[in-house]
Amino acid sequence: MNTIPNTPNELWLDRIADELVEQGYIICDGVIDPALTAALYQRIQRLDDDAFQRAGVGREQDQQLNAQIRRDQIRWLDVHDASEAAYLAWMDQLRHGLNRRLFMGLFDYECHFAHYAPGAFYKRHVDAFRGQTNRILTTVFYLNTDWQTGDGGELLIYPDHEGTVLEQVEPKAGRLVVFLSDRFPHEVLPAKVDRYSIAGWFRVNASIGNQIDPPR
């Protein structure tokens, strides 16, 4: 794993920053080294079913399970596995790169594996409400090496709560989506095969007494 590049290309950093300013989101193919993508896919395949938990809706004490809204399963990444650590390091470099270019004040990053079994979905939602959260940027990175058109699980991005679909994103391996967390409602269509991704959020430090608010 030490041979896998985990530093974003400066040209990609420029492009991501420019697109965030111009339209608030970007869809990137090939920005992360394919060897790391393959290692992460192998990692998620090796995890036992009991390593995952049903994803809830809401945060902390307000979180609840609601199968009518989402049916995916998740497992948070950490640095104890080499592939997970490499991905987290890559995202940390992205954080620094965006802070240098856009002065966003991004403080940290959290992310989890997401497994959508056949039939699983996530209804339209936003990841942050303006003025009520410290999540600033959302990332979605796809690991489906054998994804085919018709397998379902596409990400739909909307311009606002009433708008028509802005983007329909196929969950192809190596594709990274980055967007402003409080600006774009989005949903995941029902998967027809097992769908794997990593969902994450960059946050600013809106904490009191060194306690990140809200905690994961």
Answer whether residue 119 shows pLDDT above 70: yes
Question: 154 vs 79, 119, 208, CA distance in Å?
Answer: 29, 12, 38
pLDDT tens digits, residue range 36-88? 999 999 999 999 888 888 865 445 444 444 556 777 899 999 999 999 999 99
- 77 located within any domain: yes
- 63 located within any domain: no
- 105 located within any domain: yes
- 58 located within any domain: no
- 210 located within any domain: no
Tell me the torsion sign for CA atoms 150, 199, 114, 214. Answer: negative
- 82 located within any domain: yes
Say what the pTM is. 0.87
Q: Is omega for the bond preceding 214 within 30 degrees of 0, making it cis?
A: yes
Using the structure block, give the residue that is written with the tokens 């993508």.
37
Answer whether residue 1 shows pLDDT above 80: no
Q: What is the mean pLDDT of residues 93-110?
A: 95
Using the structure block, give the residue that is written with the tokens 């028509």.
164
What CATH number should be reported for the domain holding residue 121? 2.60.120.620
Question: What is the predicted pLDDT for the residue at 170?
Answer: 97
pLDDT tens digits, residue range 126-170? 987 765 568 899 999 999 999 999 999 999 999 977 779 999 999
Measured in degrees and rounded to the nearest 5, phi and psi for residue 95 equal -60, -50
Task: Count other C-beta atoms under 10 Å from residue 121's C-beta.
Answer: 19
Which residue, 156, 154, 176, is CA-closest to 165? 156
Question: What is the predicted pLDDT for the residue at 131?
Answer: 59
Please give the structure tokens belonging to residue 1. 């794993």
- 109 located within any domain: yes
- 62 located within any domain: no
Question: What is the predicted pLDDT for the residue at 60?
Answer: 47
How far apart are the C-alpha atoms of 154 and 172, rounded to whole Å? 9
Instruction: Please tell me the least confidently modeled range out of 101-115, 130-144, 197-211.
Output: 197-211
Q: Domain range holding 17? A: 10-50+70-204
Q: What is the mean pLDDT of residues 169-191?
A: 96
Which residues lie across from 57 on neighbouring strands?
Answer: 64
Could you give the number of structural domains in the chain? Answer: 1
% of the chain at pLDDT higher than 70: 83
